[in-house]
Structure 1
Amino acid sequence: MIERLHTGQRMSKIVKHNGVAYLCGQVGDGETVAEQTADCLARVDALLLEAGSDREHILQAIVWLADMADFAEMNAVWDAWVPEGHAPARACGEAKLARQALKVEIIVTAAIKE
C-alpha cells in the first residue's frame, strides 16, 4: 500500500511504501547557507517524525547547492545534525534551485521505524 501525506496537485510532502518514507525536497529560510541548511534540516526532522522515522533511519540524502563554493558551510551544519554512526548514503551537487534566494535543497529517503 502507498500512503501519501500532504498531497497537492504537484507533489506529496511524504510518500510511504514498504517501510520506507520518501520526503519531497526541503528548503529553508535564512540569508546564509548555514541558516538555510539548519532550517531545512529542522523541516526534515518534522517530516521524519510525522512519517514514523528519525535521523538515525535515513537511508539516503541528496543535497543540492546553488553554489558548490558553499559546500563547507553546508557540511558544518550537516555534520552537527547527523547522529554519529548513522551517516546515510549521500550525494551533493550544484543546481539552479527554484528561487534565486535559495541556496540549498535536501531530499531524504528513510526507513520507517518498526
Structure 2
Amino acid sequence: MPHPDIVRLGGRFPNRSRTVVHGGLVWTLATSGTKVEDFAAQMRDALGQLDAELARAGTDRTRVLTVDVYLTDMARKAEMDAIWTEWVAPGDPPRRMTIETALDGPDLVELVCLAALPR
C-alpha cells in the first residue's frame, strides 16, 4: 500500500525505486548509462546521471549530504578523486566514502547519494 508522504521515482527495474523522497531528504543512486570500458567516461556519466536524478527529485549537487562511491578497482581512486573535484559544488563538499567491490556487468562505478531538498 503506497504511503502518500513517500515519493518513489522508478528506474529500469519495476521491483525497486531509483530515487526515494521523504521528510525533506532524497536517497538516490547513479551508474553510467554508457557501459564503455573507459573508467573516466563512466565516472563522468554517472555524475551526470546523479545530477539528473537529483533534479528529478527537486534538488541539486549543492544540497548533497553524503555520497558512497563504489569502485571495482581501488587503484582508480586518484582518477576518481580528480573527476569528483571537477564535479563537486565549490564550498559545499559532501561527506564521501569510497569502497572497492564487485559491481554488476560492465559497471566500473556506482554512486549512492543522500541529499536535502530545498526548504
TM-score with structure 1 length normalisation?
A: 0.92
Cα distance in structure 2, aligned partners of 1:14 and 1:106: 12
How large is the Cα RMSD of the aligned pairs? 1.2
**1:104, distance to aligned residue in structure 2 (A):** 0.7
Once the two structures are superposed, what CA deviation does each residue of 1:54-112 show, in whole Å capped at 9, x if it has no partner?
0000011000000000001111111100011111111101000011x221111111001
Partner of 2:96: 90
Cα distance in structure 2, aligned partners of 1:31 and 1:70: 13
Cα distance in structure 1, aligned partners of 2:8 and 2:21: 6
What is the identity, as a one-letter code, of the residue corresponding to 2:113?
A: V
**1:9, distance to aligned residue in structure 2 (A):** 3.2
What is the identity, as a one-letter code, of the residue corresponding to 2:112?
A: I
Cα distance in structure 2, aligned partners of 1:36 and 1:56: 22
Aligned residues: 112
Q: Which runs of 4+ in 1 moved over 6 A?
A: none
**1:10, distance to aligned residue in structure 2 (A):** 2.4
Partner of 1:15: 20
TM-score with structure 2 length normalisation?
A: 0.89
Partner of 1:27: 31
Cα distance in structure 2, aligned partners of 1:19 and 1:26: 20
